[in-house]
Amino acid sequence: MPQLGFGVYQVPDDEAAATVSAALAVGYRSVDTAALYGNEGGTGKALRESGIPREELFVTTKLGNADQGHDVALRAFDDSLERLGLDYVDLYLIHWPVPAKDLYAQTWRALGEIHHGGRARAVGVSNFEPEHLTRLLEETGVVPAVNQIELHPRLQQPGLRAFDAERGVVTEAWSPLGRGNGVLDDPVVRKAAAKHGKSPAQVVLRWHIQLGNVVIPKSVTPSRVRENLDVFDFELDDDDLREIQRLETGTRVGPDPHTFG
């Protein structure tokens, strides 16, 4: 799985093909979509028409909250593949645990079957807290490949990252740039950017990379799409990392996984 990919949340379906094509053209090979984003169609079109060999692409999509439950999930996966126009995805995730519905464990069994059938090369979860992961492991023994969670300098998730790592689950950061929460304007980030001759967004993405997180920044602005990929030619030092660690406020930009859905 590439450590840096391209997220397409809030990209309208009729703009997704052009947006994803532009990202592939500048070098992204991993794309993160979801049934809930309503843009699997445009995203799949760009992937299919890119001319890039399928095995060089890494495609992630997610099961919507309304489609939890064993049989419903199997059908929803078929629908996602059909909208994408692909034979398989590289990663299929349960988008949210939705504890109030209490269906995520049986949904996880369905994803295991999809994985065994070969149409998802890997399966995982998103927005799962330790208690949700523990339940999956206890009831099925099958470890999710990935847990995609909200993670940025204002919400660094040290406990959940460690929990994932101890169980061999890769942590993937959504809203890695904090989705407009001001962290890119923070003096600490701006200072590090000036010091390394990079942009604030590049500093934050580099911080994720050095922590070992997978990141999927989103932008529809061509210069930013390019900029966000260009984070492999510099290194943050211990002072930078220590100062960024102090930016934690515990503040989310998205919903709380315990109650959402």
What does the binding site for ligand NAD look like in residue numbers (CB under 6 A)?
Answer: 7-9, 32, 95, 126-127, 148, 174-180, 184, 199, 201, 216-219, 224, 227-228, 254
Residue among 14 and 116 whose Cβ is closer to ligand NAD: 14
Minimal CA–CA distance to 210: which of 168, 170, 241? 241
Residues 149 and 96: their CA atoms lie apart, in Å, by 10
If the CB atoms of residues 138 and 200 are measured against ligand NAD, the closer one turns out to be 200
Residue 113 or 230: the one with the smaller Cβ distance to ligand NAD is: 230
Least spacing, CB of residue 7 vs ligand NAD, in Å:
2
> In the bound complex, what is the minimum distance in angstroms from residue 135's beta carbon to ligand NAD?
19
CB of 150 vs ligand NAD, minimal distance in Å: 7
- Specify whether 37 is catalytic: yes
Q: How far is the CB of 239 from ligand NAD (least distance, A)?
A: 23
Catalytic residue among 28, 37, 92, 104: 37
| Residue with nearest beta carbon to ligand NAD | 7
Place of tokens 């996880």: 108
Q: What is the DSSP string of 36-102?
A: GGT-HHHHHHHHHHT---GGG-EEEEEE-GGG-SHHHHHHHHHHHHHHHT-S-EEEEEES---TTT-
d(CA 74, CA 77): 5
Residue 44 or 176 with smaller CB distance to ligand NAD? 176
Which residue, among 12, 64, 62, has the nearest Cα to 38 in the 3D structure?
A: 12
Task: State the catalytic residues.
Answer: 37
